[in-house]
Chains A and B, each alone.
Chain A
Amino acid sequence: MFNFALGPDTALMRAHAAGYLWLGILFSSVLSLGESFRIESENLSLDGLKLAPADARAIFIGKALGNTLMLWLLSLVLLPVTIALFDVKVTLGIPALIGILLIGSLAISAPGTVYAAIASNARARDVLLPLLLFPILIPALLGCVKASALIFEGDPMNQLASWIRLLVAFNVVYWALGFILFPRVIEDD
């Protein structure tokens, strides 16, 4: 779609390949995150889990790790497609890129799981989730795109480590917040 939107400029597409890859992952994440709570609302299964009783924080960790795995697998499918479509050279090697895809998937999943739970009770849940989630994810998206671009093009100025630190900090903050706030989100107080 980006090809059609920006025209047939191969060099431009290659230069921005990391951005397209992460936008693809981000848009797909909305469907994946929404689905993870749709199955919970089908027969009020989330109530069943709570009353089992399952600790709400354990539900958060389980859901968020499940969402991470789903997104990571999806990104692993998108990666070769991106490399082939945009004719990208992976200068720093595929393993580094796979690592960034994992850190990025973790970064999307923690706040994504909390907001998917909030949006699951709303009538316009499919619209609400991206509206709530995307602004929060801007620092993570920035870090993922910059880190991936450096892995594609090479890192002569040693900037990669600082972007990875940003992503790790984002993960620490949002996984901790999710762990603390999730019980408040799913309990009908």
Chain B
Amino acid sequence: MANEVAIDIRDVSKRYGPRWALARLSYSLPVGRSLLLTGHNGSGKTTLLRMIATASFPTAGTLQVLGKDSRTDREAIRHQVALLSHASFLYEDLTAAQNLIVLGRLMGLEDPARDSAALLDRVGLSARTDNPVRQFSAGMRKRVAIARLLLKAPALALLDEPFGELDPAGIAQMEGLIAELKAKGTTLVLATHMVEQGIRLTETRLPSGAPGPGSTR
């Protein structure tokens, strides 16, 4: 298991119109390890995470996630990967519980209502499960998004600015969740501007000298 590769990035580039968001990035992350992505705004961290999650695809190069090609085996990858993104992926008019139940049904969970209630309780939203997300603050939406990620019980968790919008209690809870995911053997990629916290929570960091997020050619 230790030798298996969770993410294998080979010469991956991504272009949006005339701008290269990523240029010729190569990197491998073994299963069960945790990686910290750092870089300035617009350096390509979110682009990379979205490509690993198969929300978008490389313009050039190959990307394998959990041994599967990101373009041809996207369905299989999506079953095992969860992305905590800047966007919450939540439906504003549905309640917090309904948002999770929809996901649970799509995943074929036996009792999505029970699992959703347990996870919303865990992120501190048990009193607001039946309120529409439209009424939630940014921090509360983030908590629902975290519960959404946990519902998937992913083999690979991609966390894009997981501490953003959270209050100090939420940040402490998020740190606990990251530690818990690591203890379970979940492979983790964390992108954050809170570098010290990120270093403390992860084992490796994308080598600063290597071509990586931020390269433009």
Contacts of A177 in B (CB 8 A): none
Whether a CB of chain A sits under 8 angstroms from the CB of B88 is yes
Interface size on B, residues (CB 8 A): 25
Given contacts A47-B55, A188-B57, A189-B57, contact A53 B75 (CB under 8 A): yes
Least distance between A100 CB and chain B CB atoms (Å)? 32
Residues of B within 8 A of A51 (CB): 53-55, 78, 81-83, 89
Interface centre among B79, B82, B91, B107 (most CB of A within 10 A): B91
Q: Interface readout for A159-188 with B: 1 if CB under 8 Å, 0 if not?
A: 000000000000000000000000000011
Q: Count the A-B residue pairs with Cβ separation under 8 angstroms: how many?
A: 54
Expressed in whole angstroms, the Cα–Cα distance for A48 and B141 within the complex equals 14
- Classify the secondary structure of A's interface with B: loop
Q: Which residue in B82, B87, B92 is a CB contact (below 8 Å) of A47?
A: B87
**Contact digits for B43-78, partner A, Cβ 8 Å, 1 yes 0 no:** 000000000011111000000000000010011001
- Collect the chain A residues with CB atoms within 8 Å of residue B90's CB: 43, 45, 48
Known: A51-B83, A52-B106, A52-B107. A43 touches B88 (CB 8 A): yes
- Bound-complex Cα distance A129 to B214 (A): 36
CA distance A52 to B106 in the complex (A): 7
Whether B57 and A45, one on each chain, are in contact in the complex, defined by CB atoms closer than 8 angstroms, is: no
Given contacts A39-B93, A45-B89, A45-B91, contact A188 B55 (CB under 8 A): yes
Contacting residues of chain B (121-160) with chain A, CB-CB under 8 angstroms:
148
The docked-state distance in angstroms from the alpha carbon of A62 to that of B90 is 18
- Cα distance A188–B54 when bound, in Å? 9
Query: Does B206 sit within 8 A of A, measured CB to CB?
Result: no
B58–chain A nearest beta-carbon distance, Å: 10
Give the A-binding residues of B (Cβ under 8 A).
Answer: 53-57, 71, 74-75, 78-79, 81-83, 85, 87-93, 103, 106-107, 148
10 tightest A-B CB contacts, nearest first = A48-B89, A53-B78, A44-B87, A52-B106, A188-B56, A43-B88, A43-B87, A54-B106, A47-B55, A43-B90
A interface residue numbers (CB < 8 A to B): 39, 42-45, 47-55, 187-189
A-B contact pairs, 12 of them (CB 8 A): A39-B93, A43-B90, A45-B90, A47-B89, A48-B89, A50-B55, A51-B81, A51-B82, A51-B83, A52-B78, A53-B75, A188-B55
